[in-house]
Amino acid sequence: MGKKSKERMNGTFRFGRLENFPISFLAVCLGLFGFTLTWQKAEQVLKFPFVISTALLYFSIIVSGVILATYFMKLVKYPKKVKQEFNHPIKLNFYPIIAKILLIASIIYLGLNIVISKYLWWAGVVIQFIFTIVIMSAWIKHEKFEIHHINPSWFIPIVGCIIIPIAGIEHFAPELSWFFFSIGIFWWLILTTIVMNRIIFHPPISNKLMPTFFILFAPPAIGFIALTKLLGGINPFGNMLYYFGLFLFILTLFQFKMFAKLQFYLSWWAYSFPLAALAIATFLFYHETNAFFFKILSWSLFILLNFTMLLLFIKTLKAIKNRMICVEEEE
């Protein structure tokens, strides 16, 4: 066995662990804030006699602060490594998660502190717009992208645009929310076509990126929430978005055996936020219709999300303990 193989077994590499701290760690932050928002909505819609979402919010802020501070340290100490990630055709898509975290936090703070919510929202809008322009410009230049680079993580840069109206209608003129909603929805349709072409007619996506299939049902679920807020109630197109998202979720569940065989990667955190988005969308549907079916579905998705988050925490802590994370990746 060669020296490098022995080092890999021991979890040590010639590069420092900070140098290999991945941008994909931001998915943990997004999952935590999505989980917090789901608990907040569950407490309101399902009328829980207790409040846990506040504690989850503080926990999410602390964990996200540690992750963001660590990545900033990497930027300062290893700027070339950060530049490599930013120029990577897949890892590039994780940077807009910063905007999504701020936008989700602004929704959480709507009922807690409207001023903080507004500042978080504006920060999220500005960062989202910058990343949207930068990443779409990179797509248009088309200097490094090939069909095997395409996977559902490419939805990440545009999902933030769809999130903006959810709190946006409380903070600014609705036209700005419509502007971003339009960008997100139409680019979602375009990317869905490209991603499905990649999935159906080309070699399978690598096991490491398989969990990103869950991202497929996040945009329509969030689109339903945003459109319901924009129009002041449920509507035919919003219903279509919700049911399409629900179908994609069911379709994904039928691939359970495929997901069950996967080795743990940080990409497993792609399970968290889409599940949270669909659960929140279902809470909203139940709130608007008061239909018993959606109450049962709300509880089912909520329980599934809690189980998933517990599993992700256990797997992530175990991976950190065994030094399986923050190691040099093979391209």
Model pLDDT for residues 81-123, shown as the tens digit of each residue: 999 899 888 888 999 999 999 999 999 999 999 999 999 999 9
pLDDT tens-digit readout, 114-162: 999 999 999 999 999 999 999 998 888 767 778 888 889 899 999 999 9
| Residue type for position 3 | K
The confidence band for 183, taking pLDDT boundaries of 50, 70 and 90, is very high
CA end-to-end distance (rounded Å), the chain: 21
Average pLDDT in the 52-76 region?
95
Instruction: Give the domains, in start order, of the chain with CATH numbers.
Output: 3-321 (1.50.10.150)
What pLDDT does 330 receive? 55
Q: Which of 39-53, 67-81, 171-185, 258-272 has the least mean pLDDT? A: 258-272
The confidence band for 204, taking pLDDT boundaries of 50, 70 and 90, is confident
What pLDDT does 270 receive? 92
Nearest-angstrom CA–CA distance, 57 and 72: 22
What pLDDT does 35 receive? 98
The pair of structure tokens assigned to 312 is 């992700």
Nearest-angstrom CA–CA distance, 90 and 192: 16
The 8 Å CB, 24+ separation contacts for 54-60 are 54/112, 56/32, 57/108, 59/32, 60/29, 60/32, 60/33, 60/35, 60/36
Question: Is residue 329 over pLDDT 80?
Answer: no
Average pLDDT in the 7-28 region?
68
**pTM metric for this prediction:** 0.91
Average pLDDT in the 22-40 region?
95
What pLDDT does 89 receive? 84
What pLDDT does 138 receive? 85
The pair of structure tokens assigned to 274 is 């889409």
What pLDDT does 163 receive? 98
